[in-house]
Amino acid sequence: MSGNAARVQAIHQITNREVMAPKPSERLEEMWAENVFNLSKMQASLPKAVFKSIKNTIVTGEKLDPSVADAVATAMRDWAMAKGALYYAHVFYPMTNLTAEKHDGFISVQGDGSVISEFSGKVLVQGEPDGSSFPNGGIRDTFEARGYTGWDVTSPAYIMETDNGATLCIPTVFVSWTGEALDKKVPLLRSIAAMDKAARKVLTLLGNTEVAHVNSSCGAEQEYFLIDANFASQRPDLLLAGRTLFGKAPAKGQEFDDHYFGAIPERVQVFMQDVEETLYKLGIPAKTRHNEVAPGQFEIAPFFEAANVASDHQQLIMTILKHTAKKHGFMCLLHEKPFAGINGSGKHVNWSVGNSTQGNLLDPGDSPHDNAQFLVFCGAVIRGVHKYGPLMRAAIATASNDHRLGANEAPPAIMSVYLGSQLEEVFEQIKTGTVTESKQKGVMDLGVDVLPHLTKDAGDRNRTSPFAFTGNRFEFRAVGSNQSVSGPLIVLNTMLADSLDWMGNRLETELAKGLDLNTAIITILKEVMETHGAVVFGGNGYSEEWHQIAAERGLANLRTTADALPTLKEEYIEDLFKKTGVLTPVELESRFEVYAEQYILSIEVEAKLVISMAKTMIYPAAVEYLSKLASTIASLGELGVEFEKESAKTIANLTNSMIATTTKLSDALAKHDFVSTEDKMQYCAQTLRPLMDEVRQYADALEGNIADSFWPLPTYQEMLFIK
C-alpha cells in the first residue's frame, strides 16, 4: 500500500472508530490502593513485632531488621497469589530514565516432581540481574556481569495487572558486585539521608527540642501528547525517536488558545479515566487532568508524596500512560518536543521539605518576615541554586530536552530563582540587616454582588522561571517530560544538604560569639543575599535582556546538553557529592559517561532516521510528483505551462538541496576520530543537529509544494487534529 493510501485508510478508521465505553467505576474508597501491599495490609497479615519493625523503618528511617524478611515474604506472597499473581519482579531504575524488571515464578519443583509456591525472605531482600548489560559508565567491564537488586522497604510492593495476568512488583535498588550504585534510587535515598541530617541540625539550633525525620516531597506534573496509533505506525521517526523529524506546520496550530483547558475530547477522557483507575488501585494519587496548550497535548498531575515513593510512582505513571494508550488506539508521546512549531512537554517537579514535628519547612505562613525557620530554609535554597545552578542544568540535560529549554514555551537554560514580590521584598530587607514587614494577602472585589470576594495572594507566579517559589514549595519547571524525577530530586536534596550544613556551622559560629539567635540568623541571611542574591530574578526569563543581565551577574547559560554535562566532571561538584555521601567519585564519573553516551546515541539515531526517511520516503515522493508534473506540462501545451514549470523548478531545486545536504549529513555521521567524549558531544550539537535541521527545512518546504495525494507521511494537520 502506498504512503498516501495508508494515510487515507488511517483517517477512515479513526473517523469511523467507536469510542471505547468507559469502565463502570468502583467507589474511590474501595479501589484505592487495592493492589498495594501497604502498611494496612501488612498490619493485617504480619505478626505484631514484625509489623512494628517494618513500620519503624518506613516511617522513621530506622535500619531494616533482616530477621523480619521471611515473615514479610510469606505474607506478601500469600496476598499476591490471592490476587492471581504467579510471578514476582524486582523492579529497579537504571541510569536510562527507564524502568527495568526481572520476572520469576513462585514455583518450586520438589524431588517427587510436584510443585509448591515458594518465596523466601532471602529472595525478597536480594535478586541478581545482569550488572553489565545496563549502562554503567565504565564501573564494570562487559565480561563482569554480576549485579544485585536490594529490597527498598520504604516503597511499597504492588500488583501490576495486565491482560496477560498479574505480577507482584517489588521496588528495589540496583548495585554492582563491587558495591557502586547502578541506578537512580540509591543516590536518591542517600540524598534524602544527607538532607535529613543537615536539616535536623539546623532545626535543633533554631530551638526545636523534638525533631522528626525530615524528608523531601515531590509532586510532578506530567505533560504528554496523544496521537492515533494508525498515524504513528506510518512514522518511522515517531516509532524510533519519539519525535517528528519532518513535518510542515499546519495552517492552524495553537495560536487561538482554544485547546488549553478546553473540553477534553470524549475518546481522550475515556483513556484518562482508564489511566486514573489503574493509578488509584496502585495508590497513586492522580489529582488533576486537563488539555494543555498545544493541540493533542494533555496533562496529569498527582498529589504530593514522599520523594522516593513519588519517584517510583512517576515511573509507573509514564509506563501506565504508554500501556493504556495502546488499549485505546493511541500512541502516548513523552518526548519533550514531538512536534516543531507548537509547545513541547515538560514535567514540573514541585519540591518541598518537611517532617511530622515542624511541618512543611518551606511554608512562609502569613508573616514570612517573622518566620525565622522558613527564612533559613529558603535562604539555604537560594544559596544552593546559586552555587550549583550548573549542576541543576546538568540534571535536566538530555538531547530531547534541548529542543524545549530556552524556547518561548519553557524556562531558559539559565538557572535562577523566582520568589514573588512578597518574598523578594523580605529578602531585600534582609540585605539591609533588618526585617520589619511583609506584603499581606488582599481581597479582590469583582464588582458583582452575586460573586464572592476572592483572596488575592501576596505574590504572583512566573511561568518563565526555571525554579519558582509557588506558595509553600519550589517548582522546578525545566525538567523534561521524558525524564525520571530522581535525578533532579537528587540534586535538589544534595544542594540543600550542603547549604543547610553550611548554615548550621555558621549558626554555631555566630552563637558562640554571643549573638542572640535572631541576630545570628539575620547576619547569616544577609551574607547569603550579598553573596548569592544574584540568582534571584523576578522578570521575564524569555527576554533577551535577561540573558544579558544573567551574564553580568555571572550566571551560566548552558544552552545544550553538550555544554551542561561536563559540569559533572567539575571538582566542586565531585566534592559536593563526596562530602554529602550521595555519590562517590567513581559513581559520579559513571553518570557523566552514561548520560553523554545517551545524548550521542540519541543524536546519531535521529541522524540515521533523517537520512533514511529523506532518501527512501521523501525523495521518491518528490521524484514521482515531478514525473507527474512533466507529464502534465507535456499534455497542456501552452495552457498553464509557466505555472507548472515554475512549480517543477521549485520542487527540483528543493529535492536536489535536500539530497545534497543528506549526503553531507551522512558523511558527517561517519566521522569517528574524536579526542574526547566532550568533543563528540559538541560535534553532535554543533555539526550533526544543524545538518539534520537543514535537511528538514528542505523536506518541509517540499511538503508544502507537493500534492497531498503524493505525500508519504501523516501530516501535522492529521496527527494533531484527528482524534
Question: What are 544-555's pLDDT values in tens digits?
Answer: 899 999 999 999
In the CATH scheme, what architecture does the domain 192-598 have?
A: 2-Layer Sandwich (3.30)
Residue 24 pLDDT greater than 80, yes or no: no
d(CA 92, CA 172): 5
Tens-digit pLDDT profile for residues 678-720: 999 999 999 999 999 999 999 999 999 999 999 999 999 999 9
pTM of the entire predicted model? 0.93
Give the burial class of 294: count Cβ atoms within 10 A of its Cβ; 0-12 exposed, 13-18 middle, 19 or more buried: buried
> If you search the block for the grid coordinates 520589619, which residue do you land on?
436
Q: What is the structure's pLDDT at 616?
A: 97
Q: Where are the domains positioned within the chain?
A: 32-183, 192-598
| Interacting residues of 236 by C-beta distance below 8 A, sequence separation 6+ | 609, 612, 613, 617
The answer to whether 236 and 247 are in contact (CB under 8 A) is no
Which residue reads 488506539 in cell numbers?
329
Which residues touch 560 (CB under 8 Å, ≥6 apart)?
A: 397, 402, 685
Task: Give the pLDDT confidence of 109-150 residue by residue, as tens digits.
Answer: 667 666 567 888 899 999 887 766 787 777 776 667 788 899
Can 32-183 and 192-598 be said to share one CATH topology?
A: no
11 has pLDDT over 90: no
**Confidence label for 559 from pLDDT (cuts 50, 70 and 90):** very high
Q: What is the pLDDT of residues 627-655, one digit of tens each?
A: 998 888 777 666 657 777 888 899 999 99
pLDDT single digits (tens) 47-104 = 999 999 999 888 877 788 888 899 999 999 999 999 999 999 999 998 888 888 888 8
| 362, pLDDT greater than 90 | yes
Amino acid (one-letter) located at 606: E
Specify the pLDDT at position 452: 62
* pLDDT (0 to 100) of residue 444: 46
- Residue 434's pLDDT band (boundaries 50, 70, 90)? confident
Q: What is the per-residue pLDDT for 337? A: 96
Cα distances from 569 to residues 555, 565, 674, in angstroms, run 19, 8, 18
pLDDT, residue 670, reads: 95
For 211-254, what is each residue's pLDDT tens digit? 999 999 999 999 999 999 999 999 999 999 999 999 999 998 88
- Mapped onto helix, strand or coil, the DSSP state of residue 372 is helix
Mean pLDDT of all residues in 450-457? 55
Report the amino acid identity of residue 250: P
- CA-CA distance, 352 to 475, in Å (whole number)? 9
Cell reading at 47: 505478626
Alpha-carbon gap, residue 574 to 587, rounded angstroms: 10
- What CATH fold (topology level) applies to the domain 32-183? Ubiquitin-like (UB roll) (3.10.20)
DSSP symbols for 373-405: HHHHHHHHHHHHHHHHHHHHHHHT--TTGGGTT
Q: How far apart are CA 388 and CA 558, in angstroms?
A: 13
Average pLDDT, rounded, for the chain:
90
Whether the pLDDT of residue 614 is over 80: the answer is: yes
pLDDT digits (tens, 9 = 90+) for 474-525: 999 999 999 999 999 999 999 999 999 999 999 999 999 999 998 999 999 9
> What burial class does residue 212 get, using C-beta atoms within 10 Å of its C-beta: 0-12 exposed, 13-18 middle, 19+ buried?
middle
